[in-house]
Amino acid sequence: MEEELRKDLEEVTELLGKASRQRVRKVLLAEQCKLETELERSPEVLTKETFEPKKPAAIVGPIASGYTVKINNYGWDQSNAFVKIYVTLSGVHKVPAENVQVHFGERSFELLVKDLNGKSYSLIINNLLKPISVESSLRKVKTDTILVMCRKKSEQQWECLTQVEKQLKEKNKPSIDKDVDPNEGLMKLMKKMYDEGDDEMKRSLNKAWMETREKQERGQMEF
C-alpha cells in the first residue's frame, strides 16, 4: 500500500508541474495533500515510526496540516528581458528547494511556499500585462526573498504589471477635450486637480492660476 501511495503521489506531483489551468491545479493540489496525509498514516509508515528511532527534527506535522497565507505585498521591476517580482518571506531560504514552487502560465503565475514555520504561502497573479515565455521563466531563492522572473516574449517596457492596473490607471487619467478651447480645457484640468488635491497642491495651483490670469491679461499666454 505504501508503495502504491508513493507512486500515486509522484504522478500527481508530475501532473501538477505541467498543469497551467487554475481549477485543475487546485484539484491536483488537494489530491497531493490528501495523498501525503494517507501516506503518513499508512500502516507501513506507522510501523516504521514505531520500531525505528527518529531524530527530534523529524517530529513535525505534515505540510497539509498547516494553512495557507495569501501574499498581498510584493515589489516588481523589469529589465529588457524579464519582469521581476520580489516577495519577502523571513526564513524562506532555509526550507527545502522543492518547497518553493512557481507555476507559470502565458499571462499568469502562481507561487506556493510549503511548510515555512508551519504555514504555506501563496501568491497568484493573473492577467499579466503582456504574454510571457513559460519555458524560460524561473524563480530564485535568496536570503528571506523569492525572486520570480517572468521572461518577456517581446522586449518591451511594461507600464504596469497587470492588465487590471493599466485599466485603473487609464480610468483615473485626467482627460482633455480636444474640441474645446485650450484655455477652457486647461482651466477644467486645473480645477479637477484642485478639487482632488491636498493643501500643498491647492496652494501651488492657486499660484499657477494667478500667474495664468496675469499672463492672459497681458496677452502673453502661449500654447
**Residues 1-50: tens digit of each pLDDT:** 667 767 777 776 777 667 667 677 777 777 766 766 676 666 654 444 44
For residues 75 and 163, membership in a common domain is answered with: yes
Residue keyed to cell 493540489: 29
For residues 198 and 161, membership in a common domain is answered with: no
Reduce the DSSP state of residue 58 to 3 states and report it: helix
pLDDT single digits (tens) 42-92 = 665 444 444 444 433 333 333 344 588 999 999 999 999 999 999 999 999
For residues 107 and 44, membership in a common domain is answered with: no
What is Dmax (Cα atoms) for the chain? 98
- Domain membership of residue 49 as a residue range: 1-62
Q: Is residue 223 part of a domain?
A: no
Total domains in the fold of the chain: 3
Nearest CA to 109 out of 81, 131, 90 is that of 131
For residues 100 and 19, membership in a common domain is answered with: no
3-state secondary structure 125-145: ECCECCCEEEEEEEEEEECCE
For residues 5 and 57, membership in a common domain is answered with: yes
In this structure, what DSSP letter does residue 56 have? G
Final residue belonging to a domain, choices 62, 77, 99: 62
Q: How far apart are CA 199 and CA 220, in angstroms?
A: 29
User: Do strands 119-125 and 68-70 pair parallel, antiparallel, or not at all (unpaired)?
Assistant: parallel
For residues 46 and 75, membership in a common domain is answered with: no
Rounded to two decimals, what is the model's pTM?
Answer: 0.51
Q: Is residue 36 part of a domain?
A: yes
Q: Is residue 118 part of a domain?
A: yes
